[in-house]
Amino acid sequence: MLEGKVVVVTGAGRGIGREIALLLAREGARVVVNDIGVTLAGASEAENPADGVVAEIRAAGGEAAASRDSVATWDGAQAIVATALDAFGRIDGVVNNAAILRDTIFHRLEPSDWDAVIQVDLNGAFYVSRAAIPHFRAQEGGAFVHMISASGLAGNFGQAAYAAAKAGLAALSKSIAIDAARYGVRSNCVAPSAWTRMTSSIPETGANLARIEQRRQVTPDKNAPLVVFLCGDAASGVTGQVFATRKNEIFLMGQSRPLRGIHRSEGWTPQTVAEHAIPALRPSFYPLDRNQDIFSWDPV
């Protein structure tokens, strides 16, 4: 489905990104496998996993190039896109998959951890997308797929920074879709589900044990088919959408729209808001639920 396309996948050395890169190559794309090669704590590793993914693609007869630049800087993002241009002469798609976690309950969240997550998960996606968009605009075509999270859609305990970054990325994707539609550029989001190196860092507490065991049954490759489809021409006309995947399930997620309205011709006072507006609106309030309440069944 992607013969002749060139696609950049960030954070593609392991997990979901790796599976996306491998499937892109199997579908004919030439792939830039981007990964900076660090531990979960941010320490450099002796071997960059991007090299292994590139070798695997080439061994199967595909074409790939490794990028070890960081998405978290403007210059790094420019270098990632330059890798595609230097190696393959063009760029047709970007999968913004690179992300980090710094999970902790909000009152213990350190500013440095907040900044680190926002810089990689949100600013990094902006930098790489911004580096690619001039080329998409010039060729009047291109596809962005942003890997977000149900944490940013429904919410999870102890993930304020991650949820904020991923919710922001969903809004960024919609803005890109609106601004770039005139140039034939598409932008969509996928909230994946899988047990990976990153999710393995979730503390195995009593409250989390059942969720963790459920997650271990969901392998990263289950997320790749939808992402690869969204990168290709078969997805023409699919833009500005938010999808979610869970094992063999694909969901189209809702976007914010008015639920219920109320009008008072003479205007409002704090007293009438309390007496009239809130009682009328309260039946439509969202409960304080989390992702596991929204997806309350095991992945199938």
Active site residues: 162
d(CA 149, CA 290): 12
Q: State the Cα angle at 112 between 47 and 76, rounded to 5°.
A: 45
With residue 34 as reference, give the H or E element that holds it: strand 30-34
Distances in whole angstroms, Cα of residue 138 to Cα of each of 134, 142, 238, 265: 6, 10, 20, 51
DSSP string, 66-80: EE---TTSHHHHHHH
Helix or strand (DSSP H, E) at 269:
none
CA atoms within 13 A of residue 136's CA, in its CB half-sphere: 29
- Give the pair of three-digit tokens for residue 162: 């991650």
**Would you say 5 and 31 are in contact if contact means Cβ atoms under 8 Å apart?**
no
- What whole-number distance in Å separates Cα of residue 67 and Cα of residue 17? 13
Measured at the CA of 58, the angle between CA 146 and CA 135, to 5 degrees, comes to: 40
* Cα distance between residue 188 and residue 181, in whole Å: 12
10 and 80 in contact (C-beta within 8 Å)? yes
Among candidates 214, 107, 113, which has minimal Cα distance to 162?
113
Residue 37 to residue 105: CA distance in whole angstroms: 27
Give the count of beta carbons closer than 10 Å to the beta carbon of residue 91. Answer: 24
